[in-house]
Structure 1
Amino acid sequence: MMDIFFANLLRGIVSAAMNVVLLISLLQPKYSRKVTNLVMFTILTLNLSTAIFCYSIGNLTLLAKIDVILFALLCFAARPFFRDSFMQWLFSYITVINVSFIVTILSFIFSRYLPYPAYANTVLRLFLFVVVILLFRKVLRPLYLQVAEHWAVFFYVAGSAFLAFSWFMFNSDNIVQTLTIQTVPLLWLILVTLAAYASVFYGLKSVGAEYRLKQDKALLELSSETMKQRLSLMEEAVGQMRVVQHDQRHLNATLLELMQKGDVENAAALIRRHIAALPQKPVRYCDNITVNAAVSYYAALAEGRRIRCDLRLDIPEKLPFSELALAMVLSNLMENAIHACEKLDPQEERFLCVRTIYTGQLILEVENPYSGQVLLDENGYPLAQEEGHGWGGESVRAFARENGGELLYRAENGIFNVRLLI
């Protein structure tokens, strides 16, 4: 009797622990690791408590039914601790339950053909869970973290599979007998469920590719527009130099005339006016030419709109990632900051702070005041509040994602702060 209880307990520990690991592999925690671990430990404790109770009375059928109900209750209880949208959360949570159903059924069926079935069931269950968790973490999770607007459609797949598996559990008077007699229907249900999930993730991959194509198109358009602005500035600078060169001959002739007449005072005044009218030398903010050009443009734009600039950039000439992409990131962030400052009341202070530090890892921070309310989505990213806006933020997030960086937004006490770590 004790051997049976120990085998059941070992299997229960594996199932409860693997379900928690799978859950955390799919979801995005909202709070610190300590809070998340506490939530996961609570779920693990509840699962193990019900399992130990049912094992002690020898009722595996009751355990199967309680697990379904307990998972449903925990679904809504644990929701506030994660950043996923509601439909994404529901899809992920029910997917965990479906995986648990599939692993439980497969481990039971195939363990009957192995020595020591009670322990073979546990080993096989652990193996299947590990394979699924690695598959989600390495292959599938990046797919559905990129897109969040189609979960209402995908939910029907997960929900239908959950209802089908739950029907077998709740209509069973003896779960062991049900798994034995209904082996073929259950295997067909597993096959259909896996095929449906394969279609879901294939769809996500296609949607993700379309989404990235839109981003690349937006970035190309933005780069093209910025290049036009740069060329316009260069053409203007060339025009100014031509005017200066043209006027230099007249200046020299006038100075010569004044000097011949001994009018030194007027000659000196003329020279001072000429020096003041000369184009200013471009400011060098950093060693990287491409980034410096982008920053110079938006710094001049900000100062022209009476926005105080505090720019401290430590960016080397050579970077391990695309310098053009980084220039576009800074352009987007500075442009957004300028727009935010323009919305402030005239008497409010307008400023734009940009700080970067490079020590093998780039730390970039942009800060500016804002008015009104900044809305962040479930991932902590700003929501576009005007039609046609938001592509700049998308390009910044794409840069962070492609380079394995971390992007943090914060809006507190009227100050908007963006920090990028690459």
Structure 2
Amino acid sequence: MSSPGTPSRADAIREFVGSAKFAQAVSLLVIGLAFSTHALRALIGWPGLLAALAGLLVLCAASLVARWRAVEWYGILPLTILVFVGWCAASVLWSTTPGASLVRVIYLVAFAVLGIYVALMRDTIQIVRAFGDVLRLLLGVSLALELLAGILIDSPIPFLGIQGDLATLGPIQGIFGSRNMLGFVALIGFITFVVEWRTHIVSRGRAIASLALALGAIVLSGSPTAWIALGAALIALAALYGLRRAPAASRWRWQLALLVTGAAALVTGWLLRIRIIELLDARAEFDVRLDLWREISRYLSLNPLQGWGWVGKWPDAPPYTWLEAGAGRPHESALNAYLDAYFQVGVIGAFAFAALIGVALVRAWLLASSRRSVVYVWPALVLVAIAVTSFAESFALLEGGWMLLVVCAVKAARDMSWRDALAAGRAAGDARG
């Protein structure tokens, strides 16, 4: 029996769950699980992964309840997230696989909740630090296992999908299941490590080692998609560097000039796409995608408005088996997030998804170009990487990529909300009145 003035066990637990250290630990677990789903499925199967996900959601809920009064709940979610997830949930009603769609929508919502938790519980610099710590570990483990498979034992590790091609300088997959996913994670790591370096979160030596790790993973992955997205991120970084040093009064002119230049670059890139593909030695990958996209276009006209129903990663059921048969090889996605959203949830879902990325990117870009702290550059560059990668992969709709998109969208909305702008304008009008 506790003496008067001594906190009870329940109070001690509540204090621990509501502490900043607990939120930090849970955030690290969230990021680690979201980007390790392939390895976890290989090690403990779907039941183990779902149990880990459920347990993590319980920890997030407990942390949120314990810190309820410290969280600013007003306007926590951008409307774009609500519209997209709501439309995906509604698609269960007309899905060709309603049971699978219901389960997959719950899975989508679960990772969205994890992203919302991270965005609510941690400020931007803490999020950068958490992503930096986790991605350093995952990339390090990936290269260590590739070293083991490719040089030390000279044999693949089949259950992880590691082919053991490090001795021939790749392509390698790490613990992520594919070279393109490794390239994407390494790219996000590279952006994170740059921001860590510039904000002095870590020492210079650790930052340089981390950047070398990320660049090494990108090179060894042999992913053309990662190289294109890296180029776009570096161009965006240079543009933000210039904008942040431009006088505030003339910054809008530079923003407009960048918009025009960006549009011109997109048109030029489209016109020169074949030459760019040849320079990146990506003709084989492009042909695979082109065959799949042609096959998808045959079925889009059957359900253009509402799509075939949300499923996320493609199940072994029609119409996805038809697409694989027509393309001549198995696929887990449309290899294009925008087209995947179009096929699964129709025109409305595709527009909602594009609006989610677009609105978040505009908000994050304006914040990055106007706020003094360098840390605001991170969401903008990550969203640039997501937007570009989504033209060749569906990572932004699945697990870690989707969680990352939600984190960036929520942070951008909370730091630059149109609701707050309207409230401020209304208050100013009342004051003048």
Instruction: State the TM-score bracket (shorter-chain normalisation).
Output: under 0.3
Kindly indicate whether structure 1 or structure 2 has the higher relative contact order, using CA contacts under 8 Å at least 6 residues apart.
2
Greater Cα radius of gyration, structure 1 or 2: 1
Give the structure with the larger strand fraction.
1
Give the structure with the larger helix fraction.
2
Using the size of structure 2 for normalisation, the TM-score is 0.23
